[in-house]
Chains A and B, each alone.
Chain A
């Protein structure tokens, strides 16, 4: 079972991964975006860590809802409301249980991803974070490591795609050949689940 500590570790591991990969995310965002994805997410997840330390939410749902709120408030780019909606919807779907199963997390994340798709109007294949998140959620039944592999494959598979959403879509065919920064950061979020689980053992 996964408790609030597991979800705190997940958010902390994501913040560390974003710090580690910020330059790469911003570099990916330079040719097809506005070169701020790494710094925006760094700012957002730094606020998430600070809020989790200060408010110490005690259920999995409360951890994710608080994290989502911080991202919406602090990021300043489109990734704020998108990641904020992902975490908040997932958190709401988890309810106020003190512990949740991996199956419940998978189901809740599916609700979160669905919220992201509704908000951004993106479908799989549009070269967005959805291209990493949907395969990750589909693979979660086989464990966190399988979800991480699926998310990373999904992110890499955005490279040949034509962007259909966001600023990159203005580039049309010139968006082809670049890996999507949002799908890449989504793969970091999913990979952090493995770290959070490993820290427990």
Chain B
């Protein structure tokens, strides 16, 4: 895999700390995503991966620095960051269940609509060609979709905003192996189209295969980092995250 050593920095997080009351969920986490890169954060359940993404986009109060696309966000605000091109597909998808698939997608382009962007229908067509399944189901209510379709809708909805950086929280969680493979194929596709991606995953093997650079988050701290293919060969990573259990998953997935 071709790793571009120093592309322009799109997102830079420095010493980010989040505390729930007395408990520190994230301490001094720093990471960097370059333009056109896929960066992954792997780690066990409860390591603070979702907290990290929520803090970056401003859903959670945090201390530290978030610099996105050249601007320092002292107090990140969701609406502002979304407007500037940061997208998040949260772990719980957060779809508009009682609205149609197409309405969900159109709302994804809300910020662009407000700015008077005329190409929204074009983007919608692109999303439908990326996910033909969503086109078939465009009149259906989002709540009636299957797990995989929901994930596609969540990704498609985020893409409607034409984000510069897309953050994906556990995109393969709860999905059948075949659909997981489909999702990772789409992630690779997106990178080819120039979307940078920050991918948070428990499925470490798949994540490391698709990513350029990787961080390992353990109990709220960045424990290891490096180019994804190097981490994939690291004996500590292999033992902790790519052990037999995930080998088994992997065989199911292929």
Q: Do A and B come from one complex?
A: no
